[in-house]
């Protein structure tokens, strides 16, 4: 790395964690060794064990966020910590601290706003097949809805510029925060990058907080909400199309019967079809109105982004 990258910027390693007494000392020591000039901040998210004491003894600056949920911790970290380059990493000792150098170099030399470390692991216990399948599925959904090129949207290991951190409006409260981080970069067309990084198993005694089905459904819901906010015209147009197709299917036999006999034998169905078509027009109108508002919000976000050095 160049002298400018290693000495000039203020680098902060920010670690959200909950009940990581077993792993947190390893994380702090590894990142202090990999990035000697960086300050390591550990944000204790209402842990019930000795996470904060162990982190402080290992040399980290310990702060607290009493509201449970990773999204709440990330919002607090981004608001509190002042730096030029941020490296965010989970506190479970599964990510490779050595990759931080490559991430920072990529971020600084390319003048990027976010670099994501794509997890690479051969150990089944580290990255279970079910989680890999879910990750690929959600990656494909984001690719379809937002034209995303990210390969690992759920990676908890990322580097950010100050512009990204201080313009990020963090609405998520839980594990869906990574999805929101990704969509924020896509919405503002930020320059981003990716690297490949080793991913290991948790230390013995450390337990994952991820619940596959509950958190998977929460992430899917967040994607739909973000799609509505970021692409309102497309979202409501899809609803309008489904309503219009349903209305057409229902009304077709009624129209045929009317042409043949001059009678409308099924008034309830005709009324339902009419109502569905009216809702279709209302839906597409809502999409047009909300899309205008979305453009204004995007411009405000971009102006805030440009105000940061």
Query: pLDDT higher for 77 or 129?
Result: 77
Q: Is 121's pLDDT higher than 80?
A: no
pLDDT of residue 34: 95
Q: Is 213's pLDDT higher than 80?
A: no
Tell me the whole-structure pTM to 2 decimals: 0.82
Report how far apart, in Å, the C-alpha atoms of 148 and of each of 46, 142, 143, 171, 217 are.
34, 6, 4, 20, 20
The percentage of residues in the chain with a pLDDT greater than 70, rounded to a whole number, is 92
Element (H, E) at 15: strand 11-17
Phi/psi for 170 (5° steps) reads 20, 90
Burial class (CB in 10 A: 0-12, 13-18, 19+), 70: buried
Least confident of 123-127, 234-238, 286-290: 123-127
Report how far apart, in Å, the C-alpha atoms of 66 and of each of 13, 44, 48, 76 are.
20, 8, 11, 10
Count CB-CB contacts under 10 A for residue 247. Answer: 19
User: What pLDDT band is residue 1 in, cutting at 50, 70 and 90?
Assistant: very low
Cα–Cα distance for residue pair 277/244, rounded to 1 Å: 5
pLDDT of residue 131: 66
User: What pLDDT band is residue 267 in, cutting at 50, 70 and 90?
Assistant: confident
pLDDT of residue 5: 45
Taking only Cα atoms into account, the Rg of the chain, rounded to an integer number of angstroms, comes to 24
Cα separation of the two ends of the chain: 22
Dig out the tokens for 138 from the structure.
């959600």
**9-60 pLDDT tens trace:** 899 999 999 889 989 999 999 999 999 999 999 999 989 999 999 999 999 9
């Amino acid at each position: 790395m160049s002298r400018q990258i290693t000495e000039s910027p203020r680098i902060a390693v920010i670690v959200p964690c909950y009940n990581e007494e077993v792993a947190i000392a390893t994380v702090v020591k590894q990142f202090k060794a990999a990035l000697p000039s960086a300050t390591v901040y550990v944000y204790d998210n209402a842990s019930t064990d000795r996470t904060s004491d162990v982190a402080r003894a290992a040399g980290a600056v310990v702060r607290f966020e009493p509201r449970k949920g990773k999204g709440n911790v990330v919002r607090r970290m981004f608001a509190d910590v002042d730096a030029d380059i941020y490296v965010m990493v989970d506190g479970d000792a599964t990510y490779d601290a050595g990759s931080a150098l490559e991430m920072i170099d990529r971020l600084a030399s390319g003048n990027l706003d976010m670099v994501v470390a794509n997890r690479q692991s051969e150990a089944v216990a580290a990255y279970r097949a079910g989680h890999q399948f879910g990750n690929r599925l959600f990656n494909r959904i984001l690719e379809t809805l937002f034209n995303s090129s990210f390969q690992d949207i759920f990676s908890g290991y990322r580097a950010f510029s100050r512009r990204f951190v201080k313009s990020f409006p963090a609405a998520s409260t839980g594990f869906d925060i990574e999805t929101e981080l990704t969509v924020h970069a896509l919405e503002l067309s930020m320059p981003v990058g990716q690297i490949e990084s080793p991913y290991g198993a948790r230390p013995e005694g450390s337990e994952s907080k991820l619940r596959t089905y509950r958190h998977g459904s929460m992430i899917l819901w967040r994607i739909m909400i973000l799609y509505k906010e970021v692409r309102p015209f497309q979202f409501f147009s899809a609803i309008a199309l489904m309503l219009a197709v349903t209305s057409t299917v229902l009304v077709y036999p009624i129209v045929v019967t009317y042409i043949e006999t001059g009678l409308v034998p099924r008034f309830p169905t005709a009324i339902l079809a009419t109502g569905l078509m009216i809702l279709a027009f209302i839906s597409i109108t809502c999409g047009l109105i909300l899309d205008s508002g979305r453009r204004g919000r995007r411009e405000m976000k971009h102006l805030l982004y440009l105000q940061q050095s």
